[in-house]
Structure 1
Amino acid sequence: MDAIEKELDRLTNGANLSKSVKEIDKCLELLLAARTTIENDPSATISTLQTLEPGLKAGFQAANESLKGLHGGIGKYGKALDKKFKTTNTKEYPFGALGNSQPLINRAIMMHLLREGNFEIAEMFSQEADLAGSVPSVLELEFRELFSIQESLRRKELQPAIEWAEKRRDSLESRASNLEFELHRLQFLVFLFEGGAGGQRLALEYSKSRFLPFQKKYLPEITRLAGCLVYREILSTSPYATLVQDDSSWQSIIDAFTTEFCAMLRLSAESPLYVAATAGTIALPTFNKMSTIMKAKKTEWTSQNEIPFEVPLPDKFKYHSIFVCPVSKDQTTDSNPPMMIPCGHVLAKDTVQKLARGTGSRYKCPYCPADSFPKEAREIYL
């Protein structure tokens, strides 16, 4: 990796297009001047063009010369990447799970563009991919509001986010979310440290007017905030030093707000397209290895709706627990989900049907003396 970083640093430091841009600007000035001369005196066309030609050639030559270093840097960086990471023949795999799902892929792309705040591009993509109506217009309005509030938070303006949270206090409390309190907490600290000479007074007045609804649940945190008022000038060396805010505090509140906003829309905090692309990138080396083994052994991938090997994904990409039926030893799927029977034990749906012999008759639990009917089993969601 050292060689890659070295070439990347060289490329970054040497990737300067200013010389080329200046030369092109000079050529444009020559062209504009020549056009003006010809418009004023058409009889001077030939002489003007003859005078113009050497200047243009010199300008283009100088622009190309200044690009040689950039092209060389890109070439060396590419060679360093190829040397470090072995490339394989990336032909299309015959097991594309989304081969017939182009509309879903297009919708995921559009949703990603909306999440990123690229609304004009999303509109253009919707027209070109014929996605009219696939994404409700109200959802686009919601994402516009999300992006607007995110931008406010990046400017360290908390009021729009606070107003949004206050309007949805009941919904946030039902999710056991602490977003509203964290917003007020951060605003208190902003007043305290950025409020100038009257910062302590502003922070104290704000705490009196806003923290009352949170006393029951967040009294220790509120008490700690009140205590830091007297240490404002020496907070970094006080018992309240951890309250000093930095850029990570703002990024954390932006992430928390985004999570809660998307949860209100019944959407994941991260773009599904980003998650799928990242997880797929992580899995590619394993897929390549499996493909090599399959070719060597002349075997085929026969399993459906699942891959025949484990992909080591980060914990943040593991959204569901895996349940294996203790009787059949099969991993549950959407068509064969885990079912909890009245005695509390959990079996796969197919196992329940087999125990009841497919007739809906009473059957005995394999792990306790309890009897039950298949219709009494309840699907559980992991």
Structure 2
Amino acid sequence: MDKYNPEGQLVIEQAFLKVPYEQVRKSYRQSQKYLEKDLGFVNHTVADLVKQAKRNMTDGPASHQVLENVLSRLNTLKRKLSETKADETACIQRSKLRAAHLNQLFNITSYDDPAYAKWSETRLNRMLADYMLRKGYYDSAERLASEQHIESFVDVDFFREALAIEDSLSQKSCTKCLQWCSDNKVALRKIKSSLEFDLHLQEFIEQARAGQARNAIQYAKKYLVAWSETHAREIEQAMGLMAFRADTHCYPYKKLYDPERWQELICHFREDNFALHSLTEPSPLLLTLQTGLSALKSTHCYHDEDRNINCPVCQKDTLGRLARALPYSHQVNSNLVCRVTGQLMNEDNPPMKLPNGRVYSLQALQQMALENNGEVRCPVTGQTFDFTDAKKLFIS
């Protein structure tokens, strides 16, 4: 058994902790916005009342109404802050549970430890739920999480929020996605994302498509000019739409009017959303499968006469299809595996050579001889021999 390496298990677990962390940051930024906006209003209003009082210009009923409005605004602020505080507390609790789950690895001593099998089962269930969420099977993912009691390990809310934005884009609306860009403006700037520009450009294109030239020009002045330093070429091309209708065959204006741009926006949003939360594409489930398959894949997996019944890569209609694009494994030391049983051939189960030169394990030949009155039949050639004709080979 390979030496136990808990650090190696954590290589693809960054997103497991990053998603709730980013959600905490988002709630905190939202609280700051509420505070700055509402307290700014309150301070400005109170300052005006103080000035009026110093000048003896106060109107009792009017001032009372202003204070009532201030009190209502503060009560609304209190409610909003309570909601964001509850969200922050829930995200922090999820982070603690996830950190504790990963920390269990360092209390495990070997791969044979029953605790490792239990931990691996939990990891598999959360990876399956994550894969379902990515494919849109939200109800199935929630049911799996509920039955396995791993609700805190599955980011259902994150994927549902992303789905709502993608659905709005599929319905040719940029409103929700633009709001998402505004909420994550600083983070998007750090990864040099052009998603916000592409959304504004699409809004401009839709106005041009509808023949609203004046509105489109005003929109460009308000939202596109700010991007002129980095996207001057795209803006120049977009302004050419003022002279072309949506049914034009002239490139590049035909491409700008292409409805497939909405699908490109969905993919762009998904990429940036995943990047902000350190989510990988493909999913952790597929990455884990590919890692394991690449460690097993050899040229023999694709030779019908050499297929191993216990090798997942050799199953060409299932996992073998996923492994087809992967590189072959680099084996420093060779292992002999019996083609019949799929078991490793070693000193306890030595390789045996038949007169035709084919090699199988001792256990496989013993089982054949037991079922056929001392005779063994070669699975490849169909030739029959006495069990006593097999000769033991020695591995050197």
TM-score (normalizing by structure 2): 0.44
Structure with greater contact order relative to length (CA < 8 Å, sep ≥ 6): 2
